[in-house]
Amino acid sequence: MKKYSLINLIISSLITSQIVIVANAVKAEPINSLKPILTAQKTQELTEELITTVMTSIENAEKEENLAQILNFLCPYIISSITVESEETTTTKVIEGKQSHENFLKNNFNRIKQREYINSYRTTKIAEDGQMATVTRIRATNIISENGEKYLSVSTDKIHFALIDNEPKIINLEVKGWLEERP
């Protein structure tokens, strides 16, 4: 039973550390029908600068465990695939749809007591037409579970973005991780 709890913990920590959000800061003022309405993060194409801003925002959302911001940035039909290797076990979990991600993230936030990012490296590739982007990230994380168990997690993540209604949205997340219990 402990092994499955560990695998679920790892899967949870990997998915929560990979979901991306962008802060939506808009200066509020009365509506004037003569002025155009501006919205945050509207764009005609994805750029490396925009994706860098999005990826930088990820750490803040995770640290705050701000579920609403994370969900706001997922497309309704997002599909995530998480594979975790631990000892002699490999487990793969597929999560489909925004509601399933919400349930999964709520559970994960409750199960992880502390998360410390040790190191992270990423590359970004933008499609020629600027409508899609892929971020590949390698990350090492120290995790402490709600029960005080300590783990080292290392993952390679592919986060796929698409421009949907002129906003960058995560459409797919592929996580391949490794987990080891620490003393």
For residue range 158-172, what is the model confidence (pLDDT) as tens digits? 999 999 999 999 999
Residues 36, 48: Cα–Cα separation, whole Å: 27
117 assigned to some structural domain:
yes
- Residue 24: its pLDDT value, please? 34
Q: For residue 69, count other CB atoms closer than 10 A to its CB.
A: 18
109 assigned to some structural domain:
yes
pTM of the predicted structure, to 2 decimals: 0.75
82 assigned to some structural domain:
yes
- Residue 72: its pLDDT value, please? 84
- Our count of domains for the chain comes to 1
30 assigned to some structural domain:
no
Q: Which residues are within 8 A (CB) of 123 and not within 5 positions of it... i.e. 6 or more apart? A: 135, 136, 137
Angle between helices 2-18 and 48-64 (to 10 degrees): 140
- Residue 130: its pLDDT value, please? 96
115 assigned to some structural domain:
yes
**75: which 2 tokens?**
């497309």
**How does strand 167-182 pair with strand 74-86?**
parallel
- Residue 8: its pLDDT value, please? 54
Q: For residue 70, count other CB atoms closer than 10 A to its CB.
A: 22
136 assigned to some structural domain:
yes
Range of the domain at 95: 2-22+41-182
- Residue 28: its pLDDT value, please? 39
Confidence of residue 5 (pLDDT cuts 50, 70, 90): low
**Is 59 or 162 the better-scoring residue by pLDDT?**
162
Confidence of residue 7 (pLDDT cuts 50, 70, 90): low
- Residue 70: its pLDDT value, please? 86
78 assigned to some structural domain:
yes
31 assigned to some structural domain:
no
Which domain CATH number covers 158? 3.10.450.50
